[in-house]
Structure 1
């Protein structure tokens, strides 16, 4: 297939000079891209993703003033606004946190992301990388931080973050995507011993917007990572999260609310690798598809040989709201250890007619009754 718009919209000049070693990596990535095949439905993690949509996106941004789709009412310690040209810190930088441009990341900390067929857009991200953050949290510090992605160019923005939490630190991170954004985002997360990351993503975007994201998280001894994702609408969304539980006592919890109202194509993939025993993961997805939307949920847990004492829970539930909507749901367990507690389940159905009738019999209008049932349904995915 032809290469999507994602590869060909590099027009902006770089305002911040990248170090020589990173520029060399980008040149090599661009060379590898010339021989790489783009994601297609033959690839496992892209089976239900309509990648051609990336080639047909409007090149013009909406003329109306953009605004964040959801803005938290809670006062945050610090907000970072990201555009392709750089970042702006609003408010006082909290004690114990350093936020720098990704170009200042030492080469020794730079991780080469997987570039397999299912993850080839990581290569695209490196080749056209323009902006991103290096976030470092000191030991025993607690920080509230909001990252807001602001679109100021008519093409895709390629961004990368490196987030590092030292021992016993806590980060409450909120990501907000503006309505008209078009972003390819790669994030590398390293959690130090006994640290805690609570990450909330508000990716509720407009009809012509698109977000592609890849997150790689490494959890060490007695760490906790909680992710709460709100994915809604847009012409195309594709999210992959690779999680490594590499030290005992690590725990990963992820909740996703996926919503398509008209013609959304949305994929939400979470893969958790239990490298050692006595670790725990929980993945809860709730998806609602209306109109001609297509949603794909995939939760996979790998429990390696010797990783006894692991606990795995996967709960994927989906509701179709129209005859033309489509949902595919795939929980997976790959267990090579003996003493493991593992449970997974997936359902696809419609709103319960008996519950609708009950609410209407109590004087609640039909539309209100449907809304109550949908809100009750997605509440189950709110893990934090």
Structure 2
């Protein structure tokens, strides 16, 4: 695939996809609108804030696959409900409980569909709107909270398990939490080359514990756009583990559309060799009295590179907003690179906000202390790195 014509390649692939599938007219129109928007945009490049420190050229590169590691979940040995995104579309590997429904994303009608706001910065995610060929609509009802009260924590796993590791597979998921519901959802990468858009619709007084577990081999790639539309009195814990890979690029966008909600996010980014990881968070405080707390811990080694950014915007009138951004980074090699940038845009008066970012090496004083207590130097480093990572673990 030619990087200089990445958008042209996307549009050609979209034409081929539409010739092979029969979809309702409204969905065909949605794809056409996205395709016309793509035509007005440029390929991802370093002039874009979201790709400034990311290797966008890797989107077009196919690297000889390394050996596959079996990371799939044995559904028969777990109480989790596993939804597997696979070569045939998707499969539910367990019996569906009463609190959960799962359907194909293309089974939604036009009233259930939600448009997403993409731009030049999110051109790679816009391509998903043109090219998605599979995905699921997941609905959680209020019975899930009853199960949780009985000590039976409801959990759903969305597992990406695709055999084709050379061609991109475009996936769109729409997850809806009803009023007063509670669930844990984990997205887990097993294999493939994935570009996924996840839309979480989190309704009043619901509780979401969400995990994104993306641990890639040296040649694997994963791109995700994750939007959380948050209503009133909602609680969200969002834990991300992003390890390795030829390319990882993640954007989390949180929209506070009601008041009295709280979003707490923790991310551990780890890169070695020639890995390239980008992890970006945008929190939009559109309404009053919401809290956001974003913590990143990133560790880069060898010639790898990590870009992590947290941005919070407080709209006019969104008084009572509370914001915290804590980005800390460790370089384990002289050639490793980390770029870290917390940003605040505040247009309201009564706001509590704090942010900070540091980039450095392991604390030599602490390392010496552990060695003085008889701990071997390599083990001492492992202990310190583990302690550093734990600072970002929120669930």
1:285 correspondence with 2:296: yes
Q: Which of these residues, 88, 94, 112, is aligned with residue 85 of structure 1?
A: 88
Deviation, structure 1 residue 275:
0.8
User: Does the residue aligned with 1:2 lie in a helix, a strand or coil?
Assistant: helix
The residue correspondences of 1:177-256 to structure 2 (distance < 5 A) are 177-178=189-190, 180-256=191-267
**Gap regions ≥5 residues in structure 1:** none
Cα 1:73/1:247, change in 2 over 3 Å: farther
Tell me which residue corresponds to 1:67. Answer: 70
TM-score (norm. length: structure 2): 0.91
Please tell me the root mean square deviation across aligned C-alpha atoms, in Å: 2.3
User: Does the residue aligned with 1:284 lie in a helix, a strand or coil?
Assistant: strand
Tell me which residue corresponds to 2:270. Answer: 259
The residue correspondences of 1:31-50 to structure 2 (distance < 5 A) are 31-50=36-55
The residue correspondences of 1:36-185 to structure 2 (distance < 5 A) are 36-58=41-63, 61=65, 66-68=69-71, 75-142=78-145, 143-153=154-164, 154-178=166-190, 180-185=191-196
Deviation, structure 1 residue 20:
2.9
Cα 1:70/1:271, change in 2 over 3 Å: farther
Write the distance in 1 (CA, Å) between the matches of 2:27 and 2:143.
31
Write the distance in 2 (CA, Å) between the matches of 1:354 and 1:316.
22
Cα 1:355/1:69, change in 2 over 3 Å: farther
Write the distance in 1 (CA, Å) between the matches of 2:72 and 2:328.
25
Are the counterparts in 2 of residues 300 and 332 from structure 1 also a CA contact under 8 Å? yes
* Count of residues in correspondence between the two structures: 381
Cα 1:235/1:359, change in 2 over 3 Å: same
Tell me which residue corresponds to 1:270. Answer: 281
Write the distance in 1 (CA, Å) between the matches of 2:76 and 2:88.
27
Cα 1:162/1:330, change in 2 over 3 Å: same
Are the counterparts in 1 of residues 171 and 195 from structure 2 also a CA contact under 8 Å? yes
For structure 1, which segment, 373-382 or 131-140, has the greater mean C-alpha deviation from structure 2 after superposition? Answer: 131-140
Are the counterparts in 2 of residues 9 and 155 from structure 1 also a CA contact under 8 Å? no
User: Does the residue aligned with 1:33 lie in a helix, a strand or coil?
Assistant: helix
Tell me which residue corresponds to 1:323. Answer: 334
Are the counterparts in 2 of residues 77 and 94 from structure 1 also a CA contact under 8 Å? no
Are the counterparts in 2 of residues 17 and 103 from structure 1 also a CA contact under 8 Å? no
Write the distance in 1 (CA, Å) between the matches of 2:364 and 2:22.
60
Cα 1:70/1:267, change in 2 over 3 Å: farther
Write the distance in 2 (CA, Å) between the matches of 1:182 and 1:269.
20
TM-score (norm. length: structure 1): 0.93
1:30 correspondence with 2:35: yes
